[in-house]
């Protein structure tokens, strides 16, 4: 962290943006192929041209700029720039191919790459439009940096720092490159499994592909205006729920589960995920029924289970219309969305591990009342001792998360939106969940679209990197005596 006292090297950041653009140009080639298959040749030309320009820009940046070893500060900046930059690149062909206003196209791409699912879709979207935004969610779910690590970056200090900034220091393989490739393999296997489940349910192939990409990435984009509720029955919502849960469990856990299946149940985050799903379902049913019992509670149960899991995993599919819900129901779903799934999964929100740490801290405070003052009682999650620095980072993130949520909701209320809907919509964006009560529409004010874009990006990169990106000290060395600003180039 002390490295941030000196400014970043913008040339190093630009060179690795070149790596990023080269990989993302390949991402844009998939909609090109889909456009040909779906018979939308004009869109294929647009996406193909965008892919060529993106690849050319990335190649040029790599050739012109010298090679650098990334410091942690540059890796942080690259993490902060990845999602807004790639959203910008993908918004250009989307805007040209659909005729959407550019801000709406950018919103849609931010929502896709951050795996949120809020939408400003045009009145008559094409099949390519539905596929492309689901594809972006799938890419955003695995993380673009994983693709860069797995394809272009050679093993070394730079690879380690990019991995550390995006995923922490835990690894399931000896090197970060092999870890990234293993995580990618797990993601691909889960995707194929989810696709097979949806095809087994009888869902048409095109719909199954789009919903698989959106469910395993916990994204929530659907090909139907009524989301999963448009399919009816029990089987499809149930299998979608299974896919959402698979995407909300830490990918690093799956290789361990193959060796020892009991690892899944012993993982505290998984236990909290299922426990909160059960408890949340019971509470959500009570809010739906207004606190009254009766046989209708059993009829509400399937929709309640689906909606709670969808909200908790940050997926954003729905089987019911959320707009008519009571303020109590909306408030409860808002809280569930803010929790999110496991660290190391595709979900957003505060994350279950941070919630577990806070719960353990509360328990520890009460235990301390019955122990001698000199007793040593470390804060633990399972057998893992939580380092004080890690705890400070967790509490800082939670406080920043709540501050961003309150500020964003206030802007919505300033525009006349009632508090329940304002909190729900901003909670959905910040948790990258994607559920909506109908506030997010193409006709909403541009400022509110930008607020939701900022919330989605902050939720995906977990706030701190984007805040560091905006700090003057990140780019300039500030002399405290004179207030003079100097860039890293001037310092050199």
Please tell me whether residue 307 adopts helix, strand or coil conformation.
helix
State the SS3 of 419-433.
HHHHHHHHHHHHCCC
Task: Give the pLDDT confidence score for residue 492 in this predicted structure.
Answer: 46
State the Cα–Cα distance between residues 62 and 65, nearest whole angstrom.
Answer: 6
CB-CB contact of 311 with 340 (8 Å): no
Task: Give the residue from 272, 336, 264, 327 showing the smallest Cα distance to 307.
Answer: 336
State the Cα–Cα distance between residues 25 and 21, nearest whole angstrom.
Answer: 6
Tens-digit pLDDT profile for the chain (492 aa)?
Answer: 444 457 888 888 888 888 889 889 999 999 999 999 999 999 999 999 999 999 999 999 988 888 777 777 777 788 888 889 999 999 999 999 999 999 999 999 999 999 999 999 988 899 999 999 999 999 988 766 565 555 445 555 555 566 665 555 565 555 666 777 788 888 899 999 999 999 999 999 999 999 999 999 999 999 998 899 999 888 999 999 999 999 999 888 888 888 888 888 889 999 999 999 999 999 999 888 775 655 666 778 889 999 999 999 999 999 999 999 999 999 999 999 999 998 888 888 999 999 999 998 888 888 877 777 777 777 888 777 888 888 888 899 999 999 999 999 999 999 999 999 999 999 999 999 999 999 999 999 999 999 999 999 999 888 888 888 887 777 776 655 555 555 555 544
pTM given for the model: 0.90
State the Cα–Cα distance between residues 431 and 445, nearest whole angstrom.
Answer: 21
**Token digits for 350?**
């505060």
Cα dihedral: 101, 104, 108, 114 (round 10): 130
Task: Give the pLDDT confidence score for residue 318 in this predicted structure.
Answer: 93
State the Cα–Cα distance between residues 193 and 205, nearest whole angstrom.
Answer: 14
**Token digits for 471?**
């700090």
For 344: left if phi > 0, alpha if psi spans -120 to 50, otherwise beta; the answer is left
CB-CB contact of 459 with 405 (8 Å): no
Task: Give the pLDDT confidence score for residue 239 in this predicted structure.
Answer: 94
State the Cα–Cα distance between residues 320 and 152, nearest whole angstrom.
Answer: 44
CB-CB contact of 50 with 436 (8 Å): no
State the Cα–Cα distance between residues 174 and 199, nearest whole angstrom.
Answer: 37
Q: How far from each other are the two terminal CA atoms of the chain, in whole angstroms?
A: 20
**Token digits for 247?**
């995407």
């Amino acid at each position: 962290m002390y490295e941030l006292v000196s400014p970043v090297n913008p040339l190093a950041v630009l060179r690795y943006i070149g790596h990023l653009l080269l990989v993302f140009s390949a991402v844009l080639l998939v909609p090109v192929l889909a456009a040909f298959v779906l018979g939308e040749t004009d869109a294929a030309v647009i996406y193909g041209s965008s892919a060529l320009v993106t690849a050319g820009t990335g190649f040029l940046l790599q050739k012109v700029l010298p090679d650098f070893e990334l410091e942690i500060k540059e890796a942080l900046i690259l993490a902060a720039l990845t999602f807004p930059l790639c959203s910008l690149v993908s918004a250009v062909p989307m805007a040209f191919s659909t005729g959407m206003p550019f801000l709406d196209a950018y919103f849609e791409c931010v929502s896709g790459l951050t795996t949120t699912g809020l939408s400003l879709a045009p009145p008559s979207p094409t099949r390519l439009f539905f596929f492309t935004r689901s594809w972006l969610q799938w890419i955003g779910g695995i993380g673009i940096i994983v693709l860069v690590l797995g394809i272009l970056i050679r093993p070394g200090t730079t690879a380690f720092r990019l991995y550390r900034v995006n995923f922490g220091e835990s690894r399931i393989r000896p090197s970060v490159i092999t870890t990234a490739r293993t995580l990618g393999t797990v993601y691909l296997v889960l995707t194929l499994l989810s696709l097979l489940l949806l095809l087994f349910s009888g869902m048409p192939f095109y719909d199954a592909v789009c919903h698989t990409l959106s469910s395993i990435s916990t994204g929530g984009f659907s090909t139907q205006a009524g989301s999963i509720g448009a399919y009816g029955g029990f089987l499809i919502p149930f299998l979608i729920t299974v896919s959402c849960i698979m995407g909300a469990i830490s990918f690093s856990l799956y290789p361990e589960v193959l060796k020892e299946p009991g690892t899944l149940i012993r993982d505290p985050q998984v236990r909290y995920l299922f426990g909160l799903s059960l408890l949340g379902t019971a509470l959500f049913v009570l809010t739906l029924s207004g606190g009254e019992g009766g046989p209708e509670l059993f009829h509400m149960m399937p929709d309640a289970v689906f909606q709670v899991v969808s909200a908790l995993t940050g997926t954003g599919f729905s089987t019911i219309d959320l707009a008519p819900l009571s303020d109590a129901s909306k408030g409860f779903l808002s809280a569930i969305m803010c929790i999110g799934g496991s660290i190391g999964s595709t979900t957003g929100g505060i994350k279950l591990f941070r919630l577990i740490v806070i719960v353990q801290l509360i328990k520890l405070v009460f235990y301390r009342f019955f122990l001698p003052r000199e007793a040593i009682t470390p804060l633990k999650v399972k057998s893992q001792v939580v380092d004080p620095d890690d705890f400070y980072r967790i509490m800082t993130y939670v406080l920043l998360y709540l501050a961003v949520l309150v500020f964003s909701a206030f802007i919505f209320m300033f525009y006349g939106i009632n508090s329940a809907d304002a909190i729900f919509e901003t909670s959905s964006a910040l948790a990258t969940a994607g559920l909506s009560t109908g506030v997010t529409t193409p006709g909403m004010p541009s400022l509110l679209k930008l607020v939701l874009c900022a919330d989605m990006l902050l939720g995906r990169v977990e706030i701190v990197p984007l805040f560091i990106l905006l700090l003057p000290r990140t780019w300039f060395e500030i002399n405290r005596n004179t207030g003079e600003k100097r860039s890293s180039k001037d310092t050199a």
